[in-house]
Amino acid sequence: MSHKSTGAGANGVEKETASRLTTDITSVLQQLQTGTHFFKVRSPTKWYRRKYHLDDKHQYISYDPSFKFFGKEADRRVDLTDVQEVREGWRTDVFNKLERLSRVEGSKKERLSEGSCFSLIIGRDGHTLDLVAGNQKLRDTWVTGLQYLIRKIHNEEREQKYERWLMKQFNAADMNKSGALTFEETVQLLRNMNVDLSREQIRGLFEAANQNRSAGRRDSGKQVLDANEFQKLYRFITNHPAV
């Protein structure tokens, strides 16, 4: 006899999966913080063994200097906000040249397993940091961790950009620069933002968002929304298009 999953059961599975993924990525990031030895490849003849690790705040990776290092500490770092992409395998000019050479000479062929190679594409000019791990498992651990952090950083940057845009709209609608919007100002702003809701619908959302109804928060005796309340109202509308 078959049994249908209940909503509660499905939610339980989703929560368990999310918890497991969180635990897994935490373990991965801990490994990155501990550090791993890679070969940094600059050309077919220039290989440098370096131990790379992730900083405690997950903002950059850096390698431990050799006794010959006399440069600035920043020169050993890669800021993750500058990383555009993490590529697996032989997908950069450096690795392509090295792979072609290894076919001819057979040199470094064992170390140049594609499953052990990955590259960071950095900055607008797309220069690369090409690394060879000791095995594919180590490579995959670093690729997983770095891709997770880069997605997180890019999402945060998009969120900050979105918040700045919302504040710009809010400030433009705040005609008397009181730091708050009346109901009529809110209606006009939403119209300008192409929100297709009736005044009655907007009134309901306005009242729900208006958490602070103190007298000091009124504009000419009218209730108002501050910037945070308006942002919550607008986010609710965009997340619930069928309002």
Sequence spans of domains, the chain: 30-156, 174-239
* Contact (Cβ atoms closer than 8 angstroms) between residue 129 and residue 97: no
pLDDT at 4: 44
Distance CA 34, CA 56 (A): 10
pLDDT at 174: 92
| Tokens standing for residue 143 | 């690729």
pLDDT at 3: 42
Residue carrying structure tokens 């504009």: 219
pLDDT at 104: 64
pLDDT at 215: 44
Fold of the 174-239 domain: Recoverin; domain 1 (1.10.238)
Written out in words, the top-level CATH class of the domain with range 30-156 is mainly beta
Return all residues near 42 (Cβ < 8 A) that are at least 6 apart: 48, 94, 130
How many helices and strands, by DSSP H and E, does the chain display?
A: 6, 9
pLDDT at 9: 52
pTM given for the model: 0.71
Helix (H, G, I), strand (E, B) or coil at 230: helix
Report phi then psi at 86, rounded to 5.
-115, 120
pLDDT at 218: 54
Mean pLDDT, the chain cut into blocks of 10 residues (243 residues total):
46 53 82 95 91 93 72 77 95 88 60 88 94 95 96 94 95 90 95 94 93 58 88 91 64
Distance CA 56, CA 9 (A): 37
Return all residues near 40 (Cβ < 8 A) that are at least 6 apart: 47, 48, 49, 50, 63, 129, 130, 131
